[in-house]
Structures are given as C-alpha cells and as structure tokens.
Amino acid sequence: MQYLAAPAVFIVACVGALAGEPGMPSTVAPGAKLTELYAADAFFEGPVWHVPTGKLYFTLHKGKTNQVLRLDAPGKATVWMDNTEGIGGLFPAPEGRLLATQAYGHRLLSFGVGDNGPVDLKVLHHNKEWHQPNDLFRTPNGNIYFTDPDFKNQKTSAVYLYSPQPGGEGKVRKIIDDMAVTNGIIASPDGKTLYVGDSFRKHWRAYPIQADGTVGAGRLFFDPDTKNMASPDGMSIDEKGNVYCSGRGGVWVVAPDGAALGLIAVPTFISNVAIGGENGRTLFMVGSNKVYSLDLRVRGVQSPGL
C-alpha cells in the first residue's frame, strides 16, 4: 500500500529566526530551506535513515492504526509494516538490521529490512510490566538504552539498559528512575554521556555512562527560557557531539556543554529527528502530520559496525 501526498516537495520556510526567537544554529547549511517531504493526517515518530537501502523509515500512529512507513520519494510513502503493536522508536543495528521499541507489545525488537517488510524478526526482550517502551539508542559496544515513560502517573518512568550476552538472552537493567516522564534518548559519539528528555518537567538531562554501561548521577543539561513549553521528545546527534532536541518550539541544537547553538523553528510539533541522507548531512524531522528535511553542514553519527 502506498500513500501519496501533494505537493511532493513544498518549501515552507526559509532558514532564519522568526521574530523574537533565537537564530538558526551554525550547523545548518548556508542558504538551506526547511522542506516539506510528506504530509498526512496522522502523527509521525521514530525516523531512521537506513544506509543499505538509502531510505527514510518512520512510524505512523492514528487511532488504532500503527505502521512503519518507508519514504520512497517526496510525497510518496509505502506502508512497509502494518499492525506494529505501537512501534515508536527505530534505530539502526549491524548487518542492516533495525531495532525497535514496541509500546503496546511491551517488547524490544530486532529485524532485517526486506523489500516488502521486516524479515527475521527477533524479540530481544519482553516484559508485560513495562509501561510502553518509547525511544532507543544503540552504543558502539552493542548496548541498547531505551525509555519506558509513565505518561499516566509520572511516577515510575525509567530508562533501561539491554546488554547483549554471548550465546544467550541479553541482560536488562533499570538504570534511571529519577525522571518524571522519560522520552527521547541519545548518547554522545564517544559513548560517555547519555542524554534523556523529560516530557513532564520539560527539560533534558545528561548522565555519565560508566564502564559497565550503567550511569552515574544525572544533571540538568538543557532548559531554554521559552514561552513555548511543547514537550521534549526525540533527539539526534552530529559528528561534533551537538544534540538536536525536539520540543520547546522546534528543534534546538545544543553543544556538548549545554550551550544553545540555535533553534530550528518548525510550524508544527516535532516529535523526533534523525540525521542521514545520501551525504549524511540531512536532518529529518517528523511530528504532527508532517515530515520535513533540512540540509546541514555537519554529518550525523553512524554507530561503528553498521
């Protein structure tokens, strides 16, 4: 099944700050324009650029419909996976595979990427007591970090660490429980810092990653002074270690020391971001009804071994 959206590519805004907002970050390519790639009456999440196929995959949620879409061309998307039981986050893994969090199935998944859908689907871990696994990130050593937000009560949200084990099922440990609603998650290119967004307290925190994969005490990483309090959500990171944080008015680009480099103002709520494209310098942004792209002057981070 394919979805078609017209116009195929629609320039919605020139790079530049709106009145009263911070300027565009220096990581954005000179003269770049925010481009609408796809539109539909749905909520989009979990973008991932899949290098072997050269395609963008992202998730769709509307009522009881939960799908993974593949963007085949501007304005044209194929339903690559249907009835996903709430797959939200996607992330690349070795051998061209994808990792996924399954909110309603309470699973952490891995699968190959076939022409018409997933192949060799594996359940890495299942726990019916999880709330709804949301977002995830894989570090170069194979550890997978994922969030499990308690949206209802804001009391028992967590971040879990899945560590692969030789010849057996991976080990899962709860490593963060001091946040109200854990949501987006990413790690620094050197694997030493874990960043997590809190959708209730509306800020981002940073945790030092220790030798065993667990984390030390967290600290406030980023909390801009804005009137727009749209919830922090997904993140991406570039080769310089700058973090692309969706929420609070668009996509903030934040240096490793927590300094704001600027705001990419977007005319709709952005739920998540990913850096990819043919040259590795395209920022993809998804959210309410829209998929956008923006050219960068820096590359994203590809985990070694992919």
Residue 301: inside a domain:
no
- Domain containing 227 equals 2-295
* pLDDT computed for residue 302 by the predictor: 67
CATH number at residue 234: 2.120.10.30
| Residue 306 forms part of a structural domain | no
Q: Tally Cβ neighbours within 10 Å of residue 77.
A: 26
In a domain, 305, yes or no: no
Do the domain assignments include residue 303? no
The answer to whether position 63 is within a domain reads: yes
User: Which residue reads 């993809």 in tokens?
Assistant: 284
Q: How far apart are the C-alpha atoms of 235 and 215, rounded to whole Å?
A: 19
Contacts of 168 (CB under 8 A, 6+ apart): none
Within a domain: residue 302?
no
Q: What is the domain count for the chain?
A: 1
For the four alpha carbons of 112, 118, 121 and 126, in that order, the dihedral sign comes to positive
Residue 185 maps to a domain: yes
pLDDT for res 21:
62
Per-residue model confidence as pLDDT tens for the chain (306 residues): 444 443 334 343 333 344 456 799 999 999 999 999 999 999 999 999 999 999 999 999 999 999 999 999 999 999 999 999 999 999 999 999 999 999 999 999 999 999 999 999 999 999 999 999 999 999 989 999 999 999 999 999 999 999 999 877 899 999 999 999 999 999 999 999 999 999 999 999 999 999 999 999 999 999 999 999 999 999 999 999 999 999 999 999 999 999 999 999 999 999 999 999 999 999 999 999 999 999 999 999 865 444
